[in-house]
Amino acid sequence: MITKEAMMLLTNKLLFVMHCDRTLSREFGRDGAKIGTTINVRRPPRYLGRTGQGLALEDAVETSVPLVLNTQFGVDLAFTSADLALSIDEFSNRFIRPNIAAVANKVDRDGLQQYLNVSNEVGAPGTVPNTLLTYLNAGALLDNEAVPRDDRRMVIMSPNMQAVIVDALKGLFQSSELIAEQYERGEMGKGAGFSWGMDQNVWQQTVGGQGGTPVVSGAGQTGSTISTSGWTANAAVLNVGDVVTFGGAFAVNPQNRQSFGTLRQFVVTQPVTANAGGVALISISANSGFGVIPSGQFQNVSASPTNGGPVTVSGTGGTASPRGLVFHEEAFACGFAELPLYEGVDKANRQTDEDTNISIRFIRAYDINMDRAPCRTDVLYGYLTKYPEAACRVAS
């Protein structure tokens, strides 16, 4: 009864993970996974195609990204015999709900940290979006990245972001029922092609200190490291998760390789410190999951960054503000393992929800000296940014 109640409460409290691909949990469950277990998720190949009758064979290049079970989290409690004599409703309210709230909070916050793997960003750090246009621009970026336009697009935002956008849209013409629900609940619900949700676990990004007038240093650069110069000497200039653009490297559609007309955004993957000469190597990732790729099947920019072209950072140095997410459900994956059960304990039970593939384990022992029952609740899970191009950050 306790484990079933815990599972019900956990699935009700989770937000981010409920909008991720959770089908990989079946693989972990079948294989008896443990911490460190990895599944390599294949990404489909891309092709350039040909024009005319001549045969032009292309290699089928499949890439893969790893989903690793790297987090085991739980809450440990000890119940007295009197506690265990309570009805399940009383026991749930006093013990299970607070327990599961901690578990759900941890799972949700870890998921939202996947924003660090997403390079597309809209909005201005430090300014909460107060028009629908910011979110529509995020949707347009997903369109440009060839993300399906269906009912599986989601917006997750901070409490303050929700308050501002609900207030901004309260006078728009739309269904009277939706207006009433938005007013009564103080939530966006569905609209503008998205399901909307608020989550207190949205992460804050602190923009690096920057400094100087940085430019690209060297022509024809490709890959995941770009050489730059012109920074303030010996300064920490960029943080992990900062978004940068390089002059001349415009974003292209992954299928037709045509430019969006805007510079490709890249996310910084390692802290960056300039040397005494103001030179800095920037480790980056793009929404393709790679760095600068100016040609070929996985092309993501119109050309390599221009030598001497400006390096532009999203946001003023030192600004700390939340990063909401606009994403398709295929952007992120989460895997839960079915943890093993053990003999020699008082109780051991595991519940796996058939709809969500989320699994939770509850084990209870008995302490004869103190007449109490030590208990542990555990989940083992891992996240993966499967298709970063199917997500966009919203700065606020």
Per residue of the chain (396 residues), give pLDDT as tens: 777 777 877 877 888 999 999 888 777 765 566 777 888 888 777 777 888 888 888 888 777 888 899 999 999 888 877 777 777 778 778 888 888 888 999 999 999 999 999 999 999 999 999 999 999 999 999 999 999 998 899 999 999 999 999 888 876 545 556 555 555 554 556 788 899 999 999 999 999 999 999 999 999 999 999 999 999 999 999 999 999 999 999 999 988 899 989 999 999 999 999 999 999 999 999 876 689 999 998 899 999 999 999 999 999 999 999 999 999 999 999 999 888 888 888 889 898 888 788 889 989 898 888 888 898 999 999 999 999 999 999 999
CATH topology of domain 208-313: Elongation Factor Tu (Ef-tu); domain 3 (2.40.30)
- Distance (Å, whole) CA 48 – CA 91: 61
- Distance (Å, whole) CA 322 – CA 315: 12
State residue 234's pLDDT score.
Answer: 96
CB 380 within 8 A of CB 143: no
- Distance (Å, whole) CA 197 – CA 158: 9
- Token reading at 169: 């849209």
Q: How many CA atoms lie within 13 A of 292 on its CB side?
A: 26
Closest CA to 233 of 215, 217, 212, 218: 212
CATH topology of domain 2-47+61-114+331-385: Major capsid protein gp5 fold (3.30.2400)
Burial of 96 (0-12, 13-18, 19+ CB in 10 A): buried
- The full DSSP string for 217-278 is -SSS--BSEEEEEEEPTT-EEE-TT-EEEETT-EEE-TTT--EEEEEPPEEE-S-EE--TTS
CATH architecture of 121-204+322-328+391-395: 2-Layer Sandwich (3.30)
pTM: 0.87
What's at 388, amino acid-wise?
P
Domain extent listing, the chain: 2-47+61-114+331-385, 121-204+322-328+391-395, 208-313
What torsion, rounded to 10 degrees, do the Cα atoms 65, 69, 71, 76 define? 160
State residue 173's pLDDT score.
Answer: 46
- Distance (Å, whole) CA 155 – CA 125: 17
CB 69 within 8 A of CB 27: no
Closest CA to 247 of 232, 274, 226: 226
- Token reading at 24: 């990989």
